[in-house]
Chains A and B, each alone.
Chain A
């Protein structure tokens, strides 16, 4: 633990304009002797238009952090804000609508509904809301993701990379406040992974999209603007403008 964590802790984060914030987030699984403190008073902020990666060894709490930030799971104590909306006070219905309208998801697997075509999968959040995409929105999105000619196919007729790009399309279609990606490249070959990461980078650069990505892969993390390192439920380091080498160095340093 040679690296100071002081820079991570911001004083009273009231600054508005952040896409998402977590304040003193604590998550405890189980109770009594078997209780596990998955998040241990974490505070962090994700600025609009930022591409942030979260790294850490297995069990460090990075998936828990993502689930809580994405309003999929509730904190034991502390607060999560999505665009200054306090998530903990919302009921299931409001949470669902928040996810539908303001959050996009890309998972490692089980990412698409097998009975729906690529097009139907992409517009699914809009369909659920009873809306239609703005004219041209779907087409330009599919174009920029390179899947314009695949829209009529079903998931089992697409390659893994294409499936993840469809998933990206679905995450972006509602123009959400932020996109959460959980090991998006975990099941992809390196070429598909590179393409997907470049696309994610492009959405941040070109559309000002906020992306939070959990990953194991230093090469993937290097695409981000900033990398948060977690261990034992705490943020132990932060790296801005990472490269593959600086990420690997940090991991090595933290491991000692």
Chain B
């Protein structure tokens, strides 16, 4: 059969090449993601191995409960004097005190370096002069370690960004008030200028304990073994010498593994995100492949029938078409793999733009990447070609002797029934994912969404005739070109709808995301309007659950202003409550009423004291809790603690399900920083007067941004817009594939209608008229796909928004203006897609077209 397959492929090079582009894009995305993340993992695995090469064991506090994997290492501190006990253990060559915490540098321009609220962390650490070989940092020539409380060393990456040099005075923000230090040296982390783009400030040990943690206490003690003592043996000896149950002693290898898996977790989201888009690209591409094969099989009906007539079996016909698809799939996957290499380089640049510095090294192409890319690309192509191949097998030999009708022949009733069944099933799966309490809900949502698209694609031809006729109506007023185009589009509804299907998916996803984003934004707005009584918010240095934020000194200095009636900071930390690990807020209960309206239903924040807890109505109902009932919270630092319910509130969008008093945060949270500070002005103080006073107080904190309610809303919305921008960028890929699909379909149908077009030219159609006709047909297809996509996407968005009601998305908002822009862009894109086929059609040699064979 290959002898038939290969000439078939070569005869239709161009149309198959266009088809292959869809597969190439999808595979490139997939391969690029895999290569990129493998490369990063490999780079950092190597860096961690290198940095910890002299760390054979680590002594640190045990976590009573383990927080979810994230960068926040929430652990109790241990007594620094333990290092003497460690040093006396036989087999210990050296020991180092590990001290770390929040520290942020201020650059020459007065701006804080790094944005820990959105990017890599900003860290401070202590330098051990007597265990230098164990330090993860090495000094760039010309620098020396900090020797007293007035000196720091900083990482080279930050020095480059902040235009800082050895000898400069630099302001450092910590949990204390900001102050200036002299830079004594620049350091690198292994071979990198900084760990993952994080900024590093090194203090001498005493200063580090004071400004990052607590005097006399450290995070961990790192131990280096004497020659001949294994890591396991060292850990055994340390455990014997330090029997305290609150201590955890692990090998250096385990620490390296922790660090490496931390990087992997940090990348996992990025990984999944990109792979989802690769999946979307391949899914959209599969429609294009299906369409091309369908058309090609229809065009070759006579040839296929001839083969059947001279004795080819059904199976042989099928295998011939499938063989073509395999060749295309393999070819496109290989090209895609190569393109993926380029994409991986681009992704590194993209991350760099987000402030995450990745040391360049050779790209890592694992055999897994090659196998997965090629297999997935080929299988998708093969699967998309199954139906057309089956049809090819069903061609009757007698068709070779008859004129072939290109009109619609499928029974519409059966198609309607089948399509409706798929749509209904997919909707059920989707609703299960959205509303039912099942594991892996997103999988149901994804499967249901994909099924919905397939179902609508099946229904497409039924819809295409009336829709195409209606949408094409305005074109018929323009002139004969529009009328002919509308006739063409409606004459073969199967082809029209298949070409539109790919665009439908792309537009639907854009509409879905637009509706979700718009609803989320207006919900946030509504929450801020209803729940926030504060006049200003200080934000910009951290986020809930992060390890950075503002020094409590900031809140104190603002609260002390005569223009301010109350100011309170929000802190957060991990805790396990009711069997669930979560981020919990803590706040000074005495000022809650001034600053927030969380719809208190029972109790009073004033009664909270140090041992009270506020819970949401949602949790109170679910766990049957009321005022006075005990609630147990377990912290990674201090373990189980008892609290008593003092408040039940209704608005959980802002506060979550549990709120602890500030005293609980001071006792149990590892980070004593405010991620936001809410401010209310004293009565009678004009907003601009108050603002000026607060801004003066904030001048010492370059990491702080003062926002009024409107600005705060805008900031929250901007975060969503940023994510939205990324999503749109990636969805653009799906739209590009869809447009290639339309161009491909047009090119194929022009090829098929060569004689007809020649005839039109012969009886007096001008070239511009012919181009207009092709363009008009493309517009009908594009508008059809866009309209279908907008309807489906908006409905999907509506369903998702409804399902997210309990997550705080309470308002459904449909961004009509935005959707209108999408519709117009998509139609315009149809015109673009028609350019090349239209030109080709117009260039058609009239004589050749009407010649009989």
Contact = CB atoms under 8 A, between A and B. Distances in A.
Contacts of A124: 760, 763
A93 B755 contact: no
B769 interface: yes
B847 interface: yes
Interface stretch (A39-47, A111-119, A135-143): A111-119
A158 to B, nearest CB: 13
7 contacts: A72-B850, A96-B761, A99-B762, A99-B763, A100-B763, A110-B755, A124-B760
A205 interface: no
A17 interface: no
B200 to A, nearest CB: 71
Contacts of A72: 762, 846-847, 850
Interface string B421-446: 00000000000000000000000000
Interface in A98-115: 99-101, 105, 107-115
Interface in A146-177: 156, 170
B491 interface: yes
Contact of B759 (A70, A93, A107, A129): A107
Closest 8 CB pairs of A and B: A100-B764, A110-B755, A115-B487, A115-B491, A127-B480, A96-B766, A125-B764, A99-B764
A95 B11 CA distance: 33
Contact of A96 (B487, B755, B764): B764
A73 interface: yes
Interface of B: 405-407, 479-480, 483-484, 487-488, 490-491, 755-756, 758-767, 769, 846-847, 850, 852
Contacts of B484: 113, 115-116
A130 B847 contact: no
Contacts of A129: 764
Nearest to B842: A92
A67 B480 CA distance: 26
Nearest to B764: A100
Contacts of B766: 92-93, 96-97, 128
Q: How large is the interface on A (under 10, 10 to 19, 20 to 34, 35 or more residues)?
A: 20 to 34
A73 B755 CA distance: 16
Given A114-B406, A115-B491, A156-B405, A128 B847 contact: no
Nearest to B491: A115
A93 B769 CA distance: 11
A93 B766 CA distance: 6
Contacts of B767: 92-93, 96
Nearest to A94: B766
Contacts of A99: 762-764
B763 A114 contact: no
B757 to A, nearest CB: 9
Between B405, B491, B846, the greatest number of chain A beta carbons within 10 A of the residue's beta carbon is seen for B846
A118 B415 CA distance: 30
B763 A67 contact: no
Contacts of A115: 484, 487-488, 490-491
B278 to A, nearest CB: 39
B479 to A, nearest CB: 6
Interface in A43-69: 67
Given A67-B847, A115-B491, A125-B764, 19 more contacts: A73-B847, A93-B767, A96-B761, A97-B764, A107-B759, A110-B755, A110-B759, A110-B850, A115-B484, A115-B487, A116-B484, A124-B763, A127-B483, A128-B760, A128-B764, A128-B769, A129-B764, A130-B480, A156-B405
Contacts of B762: 70, 72, 99, 105
Contacts of A108: 852
A112 B758 CA distance: 11
Contacts of A128: 480, 760, 763-766, 769
Nearest to A173: B763
A73 B849 CA distance: 12
Nearest to A183: B852
Nearest to B755: A110
A92 to B, nearest CB: 6
Interface string A69-92: 010110000000000000000001
A95 to B, nearest CB: 9
B487 A116 contact: yes
Between A70, A96, A99, A101, the greatest number of chain B beta carbons within 10 A of the residue's beta carbon is seen for A96
Nearest to B758: A110
B764 A110 contact: no
Between B480, B760, B764, the greatest number of chain A beta carbons within 10 A of the residue's beta carbon is seen for B764
A141 to B, nearest CB: 15
A76 B792 CA distance: 59
A96 B765 CA distance: 7
Interface in A201-237: none
Contacts of B407: 114, 156
Contact of B763 (A92, A105, A109): A105
Contacts of A170: 763
Between B758, B762, B765, the greatest number of chain A beta carbons within 10 A of the residue's beta carbon is seen for B762
A179 B513 CA distance: 60
A113 B761 CA distance: 12
Between B480, B758, B760, B761, the greatest number of chain A beta carbons within 10 A of the residue's beta carbon is seen for B480
A108 B759 CA distance: 12
Contacts of B850: 72, 107, 110
Contacts of A114: 406-407, 491, 756
Contacts of A130: 479-480
B469 to A, nearest CB: 12
B842 to A, nearest CB: 10
Between A112, A115, A170, the greatest number of chain B beta carbons within 10 A of the residue's beta carbon is seen for A115
Between A93, A111, A113, the greatest number of chain B beta carbons within 10 A of the residue's beta carbon is seen for A113
Contacts of B487: 115-116
Contacts of B756: 110, 113-114
Contacts of B759: 107, 110-113
Nearest to B768: A93
B564 to A, nearest CB: 75
Nearest to B760: A113
Contacts of B764: 96-97, 99-101, 125, 128-129
B763 A125 contact: yes
A109 B761 contact: no
Contacts of A116: 484, 487
A105 B406 CA distance: 24
A73 B845 CA distance: 9
Nearest to B485: A115
Nearest to B483: A127
Nearest to B766: A96
A125 B766 CA distance: 11
A105 B769 CA distance: 19
A114 B847 CA distance: 19
A73 B761 CA distance: 13
A142 B763 CA distance: 19
A21 B767 CA distance: 27
A107 B483 CA distance: 24
Nearest to A117: B487
Nearest to A98: B764
A173 B761 CA distance: 17
A124 B406 CA distance: 21
Nearest to B488: A115
A100 B761 CA distance: 9
Nearest to A102: B764
A130 B847 CA distance: 25
Between A110, A112, A127, the greatest number of chain B beta carbons within 10 A of the residue's beta carbon is seen for A110
A60 B832 CA distance: 46
B847 A109 contact: no
A114 B755 CA distance: 11
A16 B764 CA distance: 25
Contacts of B761: 96
Contacts of B765: 96, 100, 128
A236 to B, nearest CB: 25
A125 B407 CA distance: 24
B272 to A, nearest CB: 47
B760 to A, nearest CB: 7
B612 to A, nearest CB: 77
